[in-house]
A and B are shown apart, each in its own frame.
Chain A
Amino acid sequence: MKWRKLGQIFDPTDHTLPNNCFGYAQSPQTLVMDDRVRVYFSTRERDPVGKYLSHVAYVDFDRPLQHILGISDHTVIELGKLGCFDEHGIFPVNVIRVEDSIRAYTTGWNRKVSVSADASIGLAISHDEGRTFEKYGSGPVLSASLHEPFLVGDAFVARYDGLYRMWYIYGTNWKKFSENDPPDRVYKIAHATSTDGIDWKREGRQIIADRLNADECQALPTVFYLNGSYHMYFCYRQAHGFRQQSNNAYRLGYACSQDLVNWERDDSQAGIDVAEDGWDSQMQCYPHVFHLDGRVYMLYNGNEFGRHGFGLAVLESA
């Protein structure tokens, strides 16, 4: 794979954001429409106790992805009610067109006491071309299970041969690396299938091999089909010290599959890496690959997990 970077295309601080949000445009994910490309992302409000709440917003680009047409100025998906899985934020969101509606697979966050938070995957449905979404129930479609005990999130859903497939992550461990730091989490990529996109059957295993070590964190898979193979990009990092130290921070990983069951990980084939300097020099994370007008593009976040927005790359050769 060989990607050509087209640079940072959206900085949230240049715009007025909905829901009192002040910055961050994380995990950009697209809905390709007739006259535009709608890019959903999660942006952040600071709540009265000083903690973050992530909200879903979107920015519309013209079809060549050259110009911004507008930004959502309304609530796209409400946060959950008291005690619900998505009470304290929705991040990220993955959208897929299903007949006349648009479905959003959300990762909802709720704060806890012994660890910072837990997450589950929810579903919300839009009947107005993705402008607003109604939750499908107040609970999640995928949450903790016997061998996936917490932090179920980062859904990416695609349909191949009529079957819905979800790639997602699940937590395996909360780990104290030092006396003074709060516990860090470890999570891995998994796979589930469904005939209706609502009731999911888990495959029940980690599908992408670790490369760094057993505590490697793997996140945000995105899958696409090209030249007879399935390709997955994701991000991965060390479990500890990943915020300050660039060496431990997120990088983009790559895996390939012929059958959607067995994945061969080979990060050296990713064809994209952190820059020498600039907005994506410290980290790269939350990749989203999509087809548009005969080309393959990747949206992704750079330094500080997308605090300053996202950038675009185009696939030059595969």
Chain B
Amino acid sequence: MFKWEKLGKIFDPKDLQDKSWMKEFAQSPSVLIFEKHVRVYFCSRPAPTQEGQYLSYLSYIDLDRDNLLHILDICQAPILSLGKLGTFDEFGTNPISVIRAGDEVRVYYAGWTRCESVPINGAIGIAISRDGGNSFSRLGDGPVISYTVDEPFMMGSPRIRKLGDKWYLWYVAGKEWLQSGSKPEPVYKIRLASSDDGINWVKHGKDMLESRLGEHECQACADVMFRDNRYHMFFSYRNSHNYKTSEGGYRIGYASSDDMFNWVRRDEMAGMMVSESGWDSEMVNYPHVFMLDGETYMLYQGNGMGRSGIGLARLIGPQDWRSI
């Protein structure tokens, strides 16, 4: 089992003393490592409308590479605009995943649109930065991962990786909308697409993981790493209903694979539990694992699916992942 040392919450916009465009939420952390600092991209929100509707924007904080608990800089304004009228990302870009590609930085994001019969739909788009990740502009007005025959709605939760010459995108696809509570709730599962250029994708058309909580389990945020000759995935999973509470809320699971396509799920190995009390006592979710200066870290969001901020944990062991 992985053993993690929680280093605590590193950022919550509600804690800011100075006035900020960010009112609430720090979701879906994704890092870009620089010489002196580590930039953590995430999604944050201004105050909601009177009807309680939110927009979600791309943001970042810069952490001191020598002390990741020390914030050097905070994003002053959204670094990616929302989409035009009627486009897939008109109402939000969340979650996100960031990667370097030559001189550019790319963000893969789930766009939010609002619908009449269900609250939301999602598709995955790309935006590019040519100034080292300080500002992004979208590659096109439409998505690169959209609805297809067996993935009818709710494309989201992208995690982009380049392994060798090939690009891989782990994402989620909606299965069905459940109409049982006060508003419809989606069921979604982790899927995989591959690409030669990171733009034109071939979907593999199969759920990557078995479901543990029944067929209505929701899975998200497949954070994949190749290490010690195997593929390792940390991800989030929850019930389709009652998930805003401690009981039904997100947990962090783990799976491993020899070939990226066939995964063995072993959640009990993940080792990242909710705390007894505090900001991550009800849920832990949206893990992002990265290596830095000889250590392995996990960024993750806590209660309220990121409403209470982002935290950091350091891997105590094992360092050799062959025996996991």
B124-160 interface bits toward A, Cβ cutoff 8 Å, 1 = contact, 0 = none = 0110000000000001111110111111111000000
Q: Which residues of B are found within 8 Å of A113, using beta-carbon distances?
A: 114-116
Contact, CB under 8 Å: A144 / B114: no
Q: How far is the CB of A188 from chain B (nearest CB, A)?
A: 14
Q: Tell me which residues across on chain A come within 8 A of B149, comparing CB atoms.
A: 123, 136-141, 198
Among B141, B176, B199, find the residue whose CB has the most chain A CB atoms closer than 10 A: B141
B147 contacts A85, CB within 8 Å? yes
Closest B residue to A80 by beta carbon equals B152
- In whole angstroms, what is the CA distance A143 to B124 when docked? 13
A176–B86 CA distance with the chains assembled, in angstroms: 11
Q: Are B86 and A174 in contact (CB under 8 A)?
A: yes
Size category, B interface: 35 or more
Enumerate A177-219 residues with CB–CB distance to B below 8 Å: 183, 185, 198
* Partner-contacting stretch, out of A145-153, A272-280, A286-294: A145-153
A145: B residues at CB distance < 8 A: 142-144, 146
Name the one of A136, A139, A150, A185 contacting B153, with C-beta atoms under 8 angstroms: A139
Q: Which of A88, A110, A148 contacts B142 (CB 8 A)?
A: A148
Structural contact, A82 and B86, CB atoms closer than 8 A: no
Most chain B CB inside 10 Å of its own CB: which residue of A82, A111, A183 = A82
Are the C-beta atoms of A149 and B87 separated by less than 8 Å?
A: yes
B115 touching A110, Cβ below 8 Å: yes
Nearest CB of A to B172, in Å: 14
- In the complex, B174 has a CB within 8 A of chain A: yes
Question: Which of B113, B117, B144 interacts with A82 by CB under 8 Å?
Answer: B117
Task: Indicate with 1 or 0, residue by residue over B180-206, a CB within 8 angstroms of chain A CB atoms.
Answer: 000010100000000000010000000
Contacts of A143 in B (CB 8 A): 146-148
| Contact present for A147 and B141 (CB under 8 Å) | yes
Tell me whether chain B's interface is mostly helix, strand or loop, or mixed: loop
Residues of the A chain whose Cβ atoms lie less than 8 Å from the Cβ of B117 = 82-83, 87-88, 110-111
Select from chain B the residue with minimum beta-carbon distance to A151: B86
User: With contacts A110-B117, A111-B117, A139-B150 known, is A146 near B140, CB below 8 A?
Assistant: yes
- Judged by DSSP, the binding face of A is loop
Whether B177 is near chain A, meaning CB under 8 Å from some CB there, is yes
Q: Which chain B positions have C-beta within 8 A of A140?
A: 147-149, 152
**Distance between A106 CB and nearest chain B CB, rounded to angstroms:** 12
Chain A positions within 8 Å of B114 at CB level? 112-114
B90, CB-defined interface residue at 8 Å: yes
Chain B's closest residue to A137 (CB) is B149
The reply to whether B153 and A111 form a contact with Cβ atoms under 8 Å apart is: no
Closest Cβ neighbor of B143 among chain A residues: A144
The CA of A183 and the CA of B179, in the complex, are separated in Å by 30
A120, chain B: closest CB distance, angstroms: 6
Mark B100-113 against chain A: 1 for CB-CB distance below 8 A, else 0. 00000000000001
Residue from the list A147, A175, A185 in contact with B140, Cβ < 8 A: A147
> A-side interface residues toward B, CB under 8 Å?
80-85, 87-88, 110-115, 118, 120, 123, 136-141, 143-150, 171, 174-176, 183, 185, 198
15 extra A-B contacts, CB within 8 A, seeds A81-B176, A183-B86: A81-B177, A82-B177, A83-B118, A83-B177, A112-B115, A139-B150, A141-B149, A144-B142, A144-B147, A146-B140, A146-B143, A147-B142, A149-B88, A150-B88, A174-B85
**Can you list 28 pairs linking A and B with CB atoms under 8 Å apart?**
A82-B118, A82-B176, A82-B177, A82-B184, A83-B115, A83-B152, A83-B174, A83-B186, A110-B116, A112-B113, A112-B114, A114-B86, A114-B114, A137-B149, A137-B150, A139-B151, A143-B146, A144-B88, A144-B123, A144-B147, A145-B146, A146-B126, A146-B142, A146-B144, A149-B87, A149-B88, A149-B140, A183-B86
